[in-house]
Amino acid sequence: MRRAVCPGSFDPPTNGHVDIIGRASGLFDEVIVAVGVNKSKNRLFSAEERIEMLAEVTRPWPNVSVDSFDGLLVDYCRAHDVRAIVKGLRAVTDFDYELQMAQMNQQLSGVDTLFMPTSPEWSFVASSLVKEIATYGGNVAHLLPESVHRRLMDRIAERA
């Protein structure tokens, strides 16, 4: 069983995330999308909401499941017999930090990280930018799955 994990904050999931998850699902027998719930960052969506959104948008792929993790990613990998971490790389600016984490994770646990280039159409998309643009009234509908866009607009309206 070749099992991989696609970890992230997914606050909220974007078309860029969905692109990576869908492509990873074709390469592995099983893909777990793992939502990091470490407390340090201020999130717009709760872990439960992020899991729900991801479950909706990954429905087309039967070998993809969604879970959350707290603590170290490598501990999650060990506990779930995951041998590979799949990370999307949007641009070289992502590379420095991702390389450092990949090497650290490899040395801590032996779990390897595979980098997948983001499709060019999503290479500029980041959840943080999407939230900022939507908050100030910009159109982000084309950057998110429809169900995620609806929830984002509702959440921003609630907070206004």
Q: Point out the residues that are catalytic.
A: 17, 41, 90, 127
Closest separation in Å from C-beta 145 to ligand PNS: 16
DSSP secondary structure, the chain, as one string: --EEEEEE--SS--HHHHHHHHHHHTTSSEEEEEEE--TTS--SS-HHHHHHHHHHHTTT-TTEEEEEE-S-HHHHHHHTT--EEEEEE-SHHHHHHHHHHHHHHHHHH--EEEEEEPPGGGTT--HHHHHHHHHTT---GGGS-HHHHHHHHHHHHHH-
# chain residues binding ligand PNS, by CB under 6 A = 10
Question: Which of residues 4, 5, 6, 9 is near ligand PNS by CB under 6 A?
Answer: 9
Site for ligand PNS in 78-137 (CB under 6 A): 101, 104-105
**Contact region with ligand PNS (CB under 6 A), list: 4-12, 18-26, 48-56, 136-144:** 4-12
**Under rule CB under 6 A, residue 16 binds ligand PNS:** no
Question: Which of residues 13, 36, 88, 145 is near ligand PNS by CB under 6 A?
Answer: 36
Question: What is the distance between the alpha carbons of residues 29 and 155, in angstroms, rounded to a whole number?
Answer: 35
**β-strand partners of 33:** 6, 66
Closest separation in Å from C-beta 107 to ligand PNS: 9
Site for ligand PNS in 45-74 (CB under 6 A): 72-73
Closest separation in Å from C-beta 148 to ligand PNS: 15
Binding site for ligand PNS (CB under 6 A): 7-9, 36, 38, 72-73, 101, 104-105
